Every structure is written in structure tokens, then in C-alpha cells.
Amino acid sequence: MNSPQPKTVKKGEEFAHAQPIANALANSASFRSWFVAQTQFFADADCQSMHQAIKDRRDSEFWWRHLYRVCPCDGCIGGREVDIFNVFYKEPKDRFAVHIEVKHAGDDLDLDQAKRYKPRAECWMKKPWKKIPPHSRATTVLLYSKARVDDWKSLLPHFHEHISFETIWSQHPDLLEATNAIRSLQAEAKISKANRSL
């Protein structure tokens, strides 16, 4: 799979979980198709990614990450961020957005965060804005750790789809390898920072 290492890594488990998935959605046709097949847009699984258009608009290596809109609606208010965002299409005129929330085992999910996802997806679809390609459909996906599913069970209905990291990694072990590679880079960065401060 085409899985380039990020040029720079951000700290934290959320980044280590999210970056390989965002990258594979953009650059691996087979992973993208598998992932979209888990959603309500399964009929469009064989689709193209619009990440380049988002990258051009955001001008960042981390084009997929922490996108938010300044907007007073219930979904956006307070600069609420989407962990991974991308737009895809099978037919160029029928684009769909995927809003992904990343929750690893060490993180927390609360109602206030969960309940923003669907209204925000609606807002970005119905009121197009400059940072993202216009689209006519949108879905929201919670990526979660199975270890925490009991804690988060009541919040699952706030997302259209739920996929566990364990499911992703069992089907796509290269993504777990990529997550582990990022963890190693994060540990090295931490050590060199600590050494510099000695």
C-alpha cells in the first residue's frame, strides 16, 4: 500500500491512530473502497478521493485534521473540530463527505462532543464554504476502541456509522504497523527534546 510516513509527526495517540487512516483513505484505493463499504454509501465504495482539493484549500500537510468552521450553528459553535475529514465521489457530480471522530482507548467521548457531529455534517453540506469541496451527501463515522465500547454505547446513535480500530487493524494490518511506526517516531521526538533540555 502507498503509505508514506508523515514528514513530521504530531504528539499523541489520536494522531498515531488517525494519520494512517486519513492517509490510506486518500492514497489507497483498496482501503478507501473497504472503508466506504462499511458506510451508508457502500454503493459508491469504488470512489475517488478529493484530498488534493482540500490540501490546496488548507495548504497543510495535515489537510485532513481538525477542520472546523466559524459558524454559530449547533454543530460548529465554539470551533468544534472534525478529527478526519475528506470528500469522495464515484460520479463527479455526486460527491459525499465523510466526517470521522477518532476515539482511542485512552480518550473520552462525551455527549456534548458526540451530538455536534450530525448537525455539523448537515451545515457543511447545506451551506458550502471555502475550505472544502461542495458535496450533496455526508456521513459521520465514529472510530472507537473496543475496550471502551460499554462506556460509549449510549453515544453511538449520534454517529451514522461505527467502526472499531480492532476491525480496521485485523483487516488492514499495515495500518497498525503505520500506527506503531508513528509511536516510535513520537518516542524519538520526545527523547531528543528531553536531551536538548538537559
Q: Which cell numbers in the block locate residue 14?
A: 489520536
Please say which residue, 53 or 71, places its beta carbon nearer to Zn ion.
71
Least distance (Å) from Zn ion to the CB of residue 99? 12
- Give the H/E segment covering residue 84: strand 82-89
Confirm or reject binding of residue 115 to Zn ion (CB under 5 A): no
**By CB neighbour count within 10 A (0-12 exposed, 13-18 middle, 19+ buried), where does 162 fall?**
buried
Confirm or reject binding of residue 123 to Zn ion (CB under 5 A): yes
Please say which residue, 21 or 125, places its beta carbon nearer to Zn ion.
125
Least distance (Å) from Zn ion to the CB of residue 104? 27
63 backbone dihedrals φ, ψ, rounded to 5°: -55, -30
Confirm or reject binding of residue 45 to Zn ion (CB under 5 A): no
Nearest residue to 16 via CA among 25, 5, 28: 5
Stretch that binds Zn ion, among 29-37, 40-48, 75-83, 95-103 (CB under 5 A): 75-83
Applying CB under 5 A, the residues found at the interface with Zn ion are: 71, 73, 76, 123
